[in-house]
Amino acid sequence: MSSSRDLATTSRSQPRVETTASALRELVAHLRQQRAQLREEWARLITEAKLLTAMTKEEIFAEATSVYDNYVEALETGTYEALQTYARNLSERIIPRGVETHEVVGIVLLLRDVLARSLFAKYHEDFTELNRILDAYEPAANRIAITVAVGFVQERERIIREQQEAIRELSTPVLQVRERLLILPIIGVIDPQRARQLTEQLLRGIRTNRAKVVVLDITGVPYIDSPVANHLVQTVEAARLLGATVIVTGLSPEIAQTLVNIGVDLGKMNTVGDLQGGIEEAERLLGYKVVLTREPAGEPA
Amino acid sequence: MQVPILKQGPYLIATVQSALTDDDLKQLRDTLVDQISQVRARGVIVDVTALDVIDSFATRTLRDVAHMIRLRGAETVIVGIQPEVAFSMVKLGLTLEGVATSLDLEEGLRYLQRSSKGKVQEHEGRPHR
């Protein structure tokens, strides 16, 4: 960890590791001493810059305190794991509240700014000394900024991936309506990935539920392109290899057109106008007969 | 690797237990078509649950088996095709056209029972059974 920092320093100023280490020690001592004041200043700047607007003043102050302490600690130890973990925790807490990437990057850069200013103020009389301290400070500060920003973005990406997964799961429910009869209502556009998932769910559903007939309702699908149409036809054929019949219902005129254009073999495709018709047809195939046991409850008196 | 063929009532059941070479497949075809009249079977079930690949030669042989057995007066049903296998077969254009398929052995038996019941009713008085 510390080697990169040392390299950066040695290449510029002649004295080596000890100088950097002592400079950092001095720096850390200074930051510890000025803790209350610098933290205050930083929190004020955050509010002024209208960052973290989703949080209250007290929350900002509390977070600022722990970020500050973690920051100083990272400078002192030269290890970033603790800071990384903290950044991830922080992101987990603040992302659901709508904090944006630019805000997180913004506050870290603000802190960097505040600290640099304080260093200028302290060493402005001795330019060599200031240089020495900055040489130690800058690379470390950059790493810290990167660590926090990357931690935040990674957390965000993780959440996005999770949500995508959840949406995908939700988008193709496989429901059993009667023994050996499944329905798959599909709503929304089918892209190639969703088509693949649909096939998987349908074939797996047939296996696990020992289904004989599957009603695939695509009333909610506005259109499909020909690769997806082909995929759909293949799914129907694959289901037959598992011993199940697929009834497709609710084809829109556009989808019918697409299917005709790709020259689908209508002998293989079992299609019925709407979901009700599809279920009735499925019941017929399974040998069910729905009988009215009594008249439906009469009109209100 | 030979495929064991069991007789169960009026049906023959061939359970494929591991990947088959082309020769094994041909042998399976010949044995089945041969045995069908020896034991006077009314139906044949080929169980391919254990196969995780079914290529074009296997598909063609299975289809040939089904067609030859039909010509010899019995019915064939292929059972236990795995979902992934089914989809990759379809992708390759191997759809086992005109061959009955069922989910598993139990379903296959039920299918044969149902369809041969129909047959018996049709040809009532048939000496067989």
pLDDT of A18 reads 66
Q: What span, in angstroms and rounded, lies between the C-alpha atoms of B79 and B109? A: 10
Of A199, A234, A241, the CB nearest to B101: A241
Q: What is the mean pLDDT of the segment spanning A142-163?
A: 88
pLDDT of A294 reads 83
CB contact under 8 A, B90 and A203: no
Instruction: Count the neighbouring beta carbons within 10 Å of the beta carbon of residue B56.
Output: 11
pLDDT of B127 reads 45
| Percent residues over pLDDT 90 in chain B | 64
pLDDT, averaged across chain A: 85
Q: At what angle do helices A101-123 and A127-171 cross, to 10 degrees?
A: 170
A269-300 core/surface letters (b: 16 or more CB in 10 A; e: else): bbbbeebeebbbbbbeeeeeeeeeeeeeeeee
Looking at beta carbons, which residues of chain A come within 8 Å of B86?
Answer: 203, 238-239, 241-242
B43, amino acid identity:
G
Looking at beta carbons, which residues of chain B come within 8 Å of A199?
Answer: 87
* Residue A110 scores a pLDDT above 80: yes
Walk across the sheet containing B75-79 and list its strands. B5-8, B11-15, B43-47, B75-79, B100-102
User: Model confidence over A137-147: pLDDT tens digits?
Assistant: 888 888 888 88
Q: What span, in angstroms and rounded, lies between the C-alpha atoms of A41 and A103? A: 17
* Residue B123 scores a pLDDT above 60: no
Q: Tell me if the pTM is above 0.80.
A: no
Q: Which of residues 161-200 of A touch B (CB under 8 A)?
A: 199-200
pLDDT-wise least confident of A62-71, A212-221, A283-292, B90-99: A62-71
**Phi, psi at residue A177, to the nearest 5°?**
-100, -30
Q: What is the mean pLDDT of the segment spanning A215-225?
A: 91
DSSP lists the bridge partners of residue A211 as none
Nearest Cα to B95, choosing from A111, A250, A236, A225? A236
pLDDT of A5 reads 46
* Residue A241 scores a pLDDT above 60: yes
A221 touches chain B (CB under 8 A): no
- Evaluate whether B11 touches B109 at the Cβ level (below 8 Å): yes
| Percent residues over pLDDT 90 in chain A | 22
Distance separating the N- and C-terminal Cα atoms of chain B = 34
Q: Which of residues 229-268 of A touch B (CB under 8 A)?
A: 234-235, 237-244
How far is Cα of residue A31 from the mean position of the Cα atoms in its chain?
36
Looking at beta carbons, which residues of chain B come within 8 Å of A207?
Answer: 83, 103
CB contact under 8 A, B81 and A242: yes
pLDDT-wise least confident of A3-17, A253-267, A276-290, B109-123: A3-17
The tokens describing A93, both together, are: 């807490």
Nearest Cα to A72, choosing from B75, B8, A64, A163? A64
User: Which one is predicted more confidently, A153 or A6?
Assistant: A153
Strands B75-79 and B11-15: unpaired
pLDDT class of A10 with cuts at 50, 70, 90: very low
User: Which one is predicted more confidently, B84 or A51?
Assistant: B84
Homologous superfamily of A2-164: Histidine kinase N-terminal domain (1.10.490.70)
pLDDT class of A51 with cuts at 50, 70, 90: confident
| Percent residues over pLDDT 70 in chain A | 92
pLDDT class of A299 with cuts at 50, 70, 90: low
The 3-class SS string of A234-288 reads HHHHHHHHCCCEEEEECCCHHHHHHHHHCCCCCCCCEEECCHHHHHHHHHHHHCC
pLDDT-wise least confident of A118-127, A173-182, A204-213, B104-113: A118-127
pLDDT-wise least confident of A125-129, A163-167, A210-214: A163-167
Which one of 3.30.750.24, 3.40.718.10, 3.90.1150.10, 3.40.50.12500 gives the CATH number of domain B5-121?
3.30.750.24
CB contact under 8 A, A241 and B86: yes
Q: What span, in angstroms and rounded, lies between the C-alpha atoms of B94 and B63? A: 10
pLDDT of B119 reads 54
User: Model confidence over A187-197: pLDDT tens digits?
Assistant: 888 888 889 88
ipTM of this complex: 0.79
**What is the third-level CATH fold of A175-286?**
Transcription Regulator spoIIAA (3.30.750)
pLDDT-wise least confident of A264-273, B77-86, B90-99: A264-273
pLDDT class of B126 with cuts at 50, 70, 90: very low
Nearest Cα to A265, choosing from A296, A237, A294, A297? A237
pLDDT-wise least confident of A86-90, A92-96, B25-29, B115-119: B115-119
pLDDT class of A3 with cuts at 50, 70, 90: very low
**Phi, psi at residue A189, to the nearest 5°?**
-70, 140
- Evaluate whether B3 touches B16 at the Cβ level (below 8 Å): yes
CB contact under 8 A, B89 and A238: yes
CB-neighbour burial class of residue A172 (10 A; exposed 0-12, middle 13-18, buried 19+): buried
Select from B87, B92, B101, B112 the residue whose CB has the most chain A CBs within 10 Å, as the one to mutate to test that interface.
B87
Nearest Cα to A232, choosing from A267, A284, A197? A197
pLDDT of A132 reads 86
